[in-house]
Structure 1
C-alpha cells in the first residue's frame, strides 16, 4: 500500500520484489521535493488462461505531495498508479502519513498511514463509488499506453492503512490493511488471497540497501531488495590535485614601475605571453587556443577534454593568467570553447582573484562580480593563435555493451564487444569521425519477435540489423560546425549518421549565453542503411526536420519541445522535461504525439520513456567528460522515431553557459 511520505529530493530508488510467482522491478525518481515518478516492470508466472506463460507488463506511476508533514499535520499525497500502461495495476489514491518519534520507551519511531483508494486499491472492502461507478476493467492483450483520464477516481472506493514501527536504526516492522483484491491474478489461479492483512520485517543492511521479508494476504511469503542513492551525493569524493595559488601583484603605490605598459610596444608581445601561458595551462590539461592583449585587458580562449566542469577551467585559467600576465592587465576575458565553438565569455577582475581566494564564501562572492556573456566567433585585436593544434588525430579502442530491454521472452538481453573510434580534426570546427564495432558475444540476436508494424519500419527492424553481421560500421561522419554570430551556432553532418540511417543533417541554433531560452531548427535528408551496416542502402528515404525550443526553468529543471516530421513520415511534437545536476547527472522523461493513431502505432499507443545520464566522475571521483547514458522505453515502435545524429548543438554548448556554470560555480577555486 502507498504511504503519504516523499523521498528526499532527487533520490533514486530501485526495488526488486517477488511473491507468488510475481516479480516487480521499480525505478523511482524524486523529480522535485513534491513530485515523484516510477517506472515499473512486472512478470507474472502461470498466466496460462490467456495464452501467456509469463505475462510481462510495463507501467508508470505519478505522485504529488500535497502537504508536507509538520508538527501536527501529516504528510498528504495524491497518486496515480499505472496511469500510462495497460491498466493492470491502474488505481488512484489520497493517503496521509504521520510520524511519531519515540512513542514508547523503546524504539525510534512509529508511522501511521491511512488512505482512500480507487481502481485496484478499491477492489476489496469497498465503501461505494462516490464519484461514479463507470470504470472499465483490465483486458489482457490491450496495447495500453494512453492515460485513462475518464476513469480516474471512478468506481468503488476503499479505505486502506498501516502501521510501521522502527525498532532501531536498522530494524523495522510493518502491518497493513490492504484493499487490492488481486482479481486478475486470483481468477487465473496465480495465487489464493485469503486475508486483507499483510505483515513485514525490514532490515537496513547499509545506508543504501534495505531488504524485507513479508507474509502477504494470508497465503504467501514475499521478499524485497531496495537500493537508494542520490545523484547529489557521489559514490566517490571528487579528487583533484590542488591548484597553484594566485600570485598577487605588488601594490601600485609601492612599485609603480611594475604597472608600466611599455611592454605593449613590442610587436611580439602576444606571442611571448602565449608561449608563457600555454605550458602553465597544459599542466592542468587545459588547451590554450589564442591570446589577445591590450595594455589593461587580456582574452584567453581555452578548451579542455578533461574537466566535466567549466567552472574549474575558468578558475585555473584565471590563476595561470594572474601568474603570467604583466601587472598592468586588470581584466581577464576567459572564452570557453567546445569543439571549436566559443560558447561564452567569462569576464573576471584580476583584483577579485587576488583578494577573494582565501575569503569565506569566496565562490559566491566571485560569482556575483563576474560577467558571463556571448563570445565573438573569433578573437580580435592584438592576437596570437596557437597554430599547432591542427590537424589532430585521436583514437580509442575499448569494450562496449548494447542492452535490449523488455522482450516478452527475455526481459534483458545484451551484446558485448569491442569498439574502435577515430577522429581526425583537420581545421577548427571540421571533423571526420568513424566508429567500428565487433560483437564478441550477445543474446539480442536470439530474440524471435520480428516487426509487425504497419508503418515504415524505421526502428522495429532492429533485430534484423543485429542478426546481419557481427562487425559493423556504426558511424562515419564528416561534420562542420561554426558560429555565424555571437549567439548563433550552425552544424552540417554528412555520412553514415547512425546505425540505421545515413545522409545529410543540418542544424542552426540561437542561444545567448545568459538567456534561459534557446531556439533551433534541424533538417535531415536520410536513407535507410543495409542491415549489415556496411556501405549500402535500402530503398526507403525520408526528409525529416524539427523546430526546437529549449528552456531553463531554474534549479536544474530543463524543458524541450520539438515540433516536426519524424523518420516514419509522421508529423507531431515531442515534449521532454529533465532534471540536471551540477555534477553531470541527468534524469528526465519524454513523450511524443504524432498524427499516427494508437492503432497504427501499436503496443504502447505512443512513444514515451525515461532517459538517464550518469557521469563517470560520479563513480571514480576523477575529472572526466565521459558518461553513461541510456533511454528506457516501454516499447520501441516506428511512430515518433527521430534521427540519432551525434553532435547536436544545444548539448555541446549549454555546459559552458550561464546556468551550468552557475550551478557548480563552487568548484571555481579547485
Structure 2
C-alpha cells in the first residue's frame, strides 16, 4: 500500500512492424475510436493517454498505453450511478482492454485490427471486435467492423466462426454473477455467440477540429433495463477539439436521447513536460596550459593534510556539481576517481561532469580518466575515457556518441581501490519532507489518500554498511476511515492494510544493511530489522548481473515476522520463510522483463511475471501479474494479483537534474495471495542505472 506520489507482446517486436498513423480521436472508452465504437487506429508508439468521459449515469476513466507500435492496452475504472435500479447502490467497474493492429493502412487498403474489451474485469463491458479503417479524400476516415458480446446487441446474426465448430454459435453467460466477476480471463467467451456490424466516419475539418458520426451495435441492455440509459436511435454524433499540448475536449449527442462530454490527454513519455537544461551549466573546459599553471595543482606527493591537495580540490569541485568523491588514486598516467551521483537522473551526465572536473583539475600528464560509479561505497561500474576526447569532441555535432564509441565500460573493482578519501566515511544523510499515500477502488470510497510528514535518515558507517530508518506521521486524509474488513480465507498478510493505516506515529523501516561484491559481476546484500511497514526480519540476496549483458539472475531468501498494527516495535505471532529465484532480461526497444518464482508471504508458491517499458529518461510504464497455488476462490475478488505500475522521474516534470522519482502501483484489488515482501534496495533495481545498458541509452547527456 505504500507509494510516494505527487500525483507480452515484446517477443513480437522483431517482426518488423512499422509505425502506424496516429489516431486522431479517443472514444468514450478511452481508446482510439469514434464515440462508443472502436477504430483500427493506434496511438504513436510509447504514448500514454488519460481519458475521462461522462453521459447520463455513466462515467469512465481510462489509462491507455501504446506498448508496441501495433499493440495498446487499457485499464478502465467506471462508475454507473444507481445501477441496481433502486437508487441505493451504484456500480464501480474495473476492466482491461487490449487491441492488436494486424495491418497498417496503405494507399490501397485499410488498417485492420482485432481487440478485446473488458477481457479481465467483471465482464460488464465484455466484447470482442475486428475492425477496418481507411482514410479517403485526405481528411475523412471511414470505419467498419464486426463485434461480439456487448458489441453484438443490435441487428445481430449468426457467428461466421461457427464454420470452425458449433461451439462458436453460443456465448456462455458472463458479467455480474458470472465467472468474470472474479476477474478471471474469460477465454471461453471470446468471439463466441452472435455478431453485429458497426461503423462510422470522422471528418478532420482541420488539424484541431473533427466531426464524428457512428452507427453503434451496443444496445446497453443492462442499463436500459435499469432505466439508466434511453436508446431512441443507434446513431451517435460528436465533435472533438484538440489543443497543442495533447489535450482534447469532446462533446456528443448519443442514442437520440442524451448529451455526453469527454476530456482526454495524450503525451509521449520521451518528451518531458518541461524542457531540460534548467540546471547549472557544465563547467567550461580549461586549456592544458591554464591547468598546468594553476597554483592549486600540486604534485601527488605534497602534504595532503593542508586541505589544498589535488584530491581536496577534486572533492570541492565535484561537490559543486552534485557529486560526492569517495575515492581517488593515481596509477602512472591514469586517474581513478570513485564518485556517488546523488544529483543527476542520468548517470551518463554525472560521468561527463566528473570528466570535465578532472580535466580542469588534474595535472596535464594524466591522460586517462577512470571514473567508478559507487553507491553507499559499493563500486558498481567503471568507465574509462581519454582526456583528449573531452576537448576534441565537446563541440562535435555527434560528439556524445563518438565519445561513447571510444569509452570503455567495465565492471567495477570489487572494492574501492586505494581506500577512500578523507571524511568519505562515515557519511550521514537525511530527508525531512512530505509524503503521500493512496488507495484506489474501495467500493465505499474509490479514492482514499493520506498526507503526512516523513523523516528518512541513512548513516553509512563504512563502504557497504548502512543504518537506515524512516519515520512517518500522518497529517490529514481518509485512508484510515475505511470500515471494510478483510474476508480473506488466507492469513491476512496484506488485506489488513487499513488497520496499519490507523497508526499515528510509525516506524516504517529501521534496518542495518550490508552490500558487497563477492566476485566480478556479482552483488550481495543482507538486510536485518524492520524491513517494511508490515514485516520485520532478515533478508539476504545474491545477483549476477554482467556489466554489458542483457540477462541477470538473482536469488533471495527472507525470514519475515508480521509487525503490530501500530507500526512501532512489537510483532504479531505470524512468521514465514519466503524466497524467490529471479530472471531479468532486457529486450530491444526499452522493454524489461522479470520473472520471480518462489514462496510468498501467505505461504503460497508460484510466479510473478512483469513487463516494463523503460524510456531513456527513466520514465517507466509496466504491468505484472502473479499466479500461485492459491485457487481463485481462496484468493477472492480479482482471482489473482495483477496491476499496473508507473514511475515518473521528477526531472521529467521540472527540467532540473534530480535522482527522485514518483511511483504509483495501480492494483484493481489488494488481496493476500501472491503478496511479496517489500525490501529496500533489491539488487537489480539498485544497480541497473549504473550498468552499461542504461548508461549507453542516456549517453546523449554526456556533454550536458
Which TM-score bucket, shorter chain as reference? over 0.9
Instruction: Tell whether the 8 Å contact from 1:76 to 1:96 is kept in structure 2 after alignment.
Output: yes
Please name the residue that 2:149 is paired with: 119
Distance 1:652 1:284 in 2: 22
Distance 1:448 1:477 in 2: 32
Structure 1 residues 10-21: aligned runs within 5 Å: 10-21=46-57
CA displacement 1:300-324 (0-9 Å, x = unmatched): 1111211111111111111222222
Instruction: Tell whether the 8 Å contact from 1:146 to 1:605 is kept in structure 2 after alignment.
Output: yes
Distance 1:52 1:361 in 2: 65
Deviation at 1:271, TM superposition (A): 9.8
Match of 2:357 among 297, 312, 320: 320
Aligned CA RMSD, in angstroms, stands at: 2.3
Please name the residue that 1:7 is paired with: 43
Distance 1:134 1:144 in 2: 22
CA displacement 1:433-460 (0-9 Å, x = unmatched): 1122112222122222210000010011
Instruction: Tell whether the 8 Å contact from 1:472 to 1:532 is kept in structure 2 after alignment.
Output: yes
Deviation at 1:196, TM superposition (A): 1.3
Please name the residue that 1:217 is paired with: 255
More deviation in 154-163 or 570-579? 154-163
Instruction: Tell whether the 8 Å contact from 2:61 to 2:76 is kept in structure 1 after alignment.
Output: yes
Please name the residue that 2:390 is paired with: 353
**1:302 correspondence with 2:332:** no
Deviation at 1:267, TM superposition (A): 9.7
Please name the residue that 1:457 is paired with: 492
Match of 1:235 among 258, 269, 273: 273
Instruction: Tell whether the 8 Å contact from 2:378 to 2:416 is kept in structure 1 after alignment.
Output: no
Please name the residue that 1:537 is paired with: 571
Instruction: Tell whether the 8 Å contact from 1:405 to 1:412 is kept in structure 2 after alignment.
Output: yes
**1:200 correspondence with 2:238:** yes
Unaligned runs of 5+ in 2: 1-36, 162-167
**1:388 correspondence with 2:423:** yes
Deviation at 1:600, TM superposition (A): 0.6
Unaligned runs of 5+ in 1: 103-108
CA displacement 1:565-608 (0-9 Å, x = unmatched): 00000000000000001111110000000000011111111000
**1:27 correspondence with 2:72:** no
Kindly tell me the number of residue pairs found equivalent between the two proteins: 654
More deviation in 141-150 or 311-320? 141-150
Please name the residue that 1:106 is paired with: none
Match of 1:439 among 441, 451, 474: 474
Distance 1:214 1:264 in 2: 76
Instruction: Tell whether the 8 Å contact from 1:335 to 1:346 is kept in structure 2 after alignment.
Output: yes
Match of 1:335 among 364, 372, 377: 372
Please name the residue that 2:191 is paired with: 153
Deviation at 1:531, TM superposition (A): 0.9
**1:517 correspondence with 2:551:** yes
Match of 1:75 among 84, 100, 111: 111
Please name the residue that 1:365 is paired with: 402
Q: 1:51 to 1:204 in 2, by over 3 A?
A: closer
Distance 1:618 1:263 in 2: 43
Tell me, what secondary structure is at the counterpart of 1:274? Answer: helix
Instruction: Tell whether the 8 Å contact from 1:340 to 1:482 is kept in structure 2 after alignment.
Output: no
Distance 2:578 2:537 in 1: 11
**1:403 correspondence with 2:438:** yes
Please name the residue that 2:25 is paired with: none
After TM superposition, the score normalised by the length of structure 1 is 0.94
**1:189 correspondence with 2:227:** yes
Q: 1:189 to 1:294 in 2, by over 3 A?
A: same
CA displacement 1:27-71 (0-9 Å, x = unmatched): 001112112110001111122259971111111111122222233
Instruction: Tell whether the 8 Å contact from 1:300 to 1:333 is kept in structure 2 after alignment.
Output: yes
Tell me, what secondary structure is at the counterpart of 2:259? Answer: strand
Tell me, what secondary structure is at the counterpart of 1:287? Answer: strand
Instruction: Tell whether the 8 Å contact from 1:264 to 1:295 is kept in structure 2 after alignment.
Output: no
Query: After TM superposition, which residue ranges in structure 1, 4 or more long, deviate above 6 angstroms?
Result: 262-271
Please name the residue that 2:6 is paired with: none
Please name the residue that 1:86 is paired with: 122
Distance 1:456 1:517 in 2: 35
Distance 2:362 2:426 in 1: 29
Please name the residue that 1:374 is paired with: 411
Q: 1:447 to 1:51 in 2, by over 3 A?
A: farther
**1:245 correspondence with 2:284:** yes
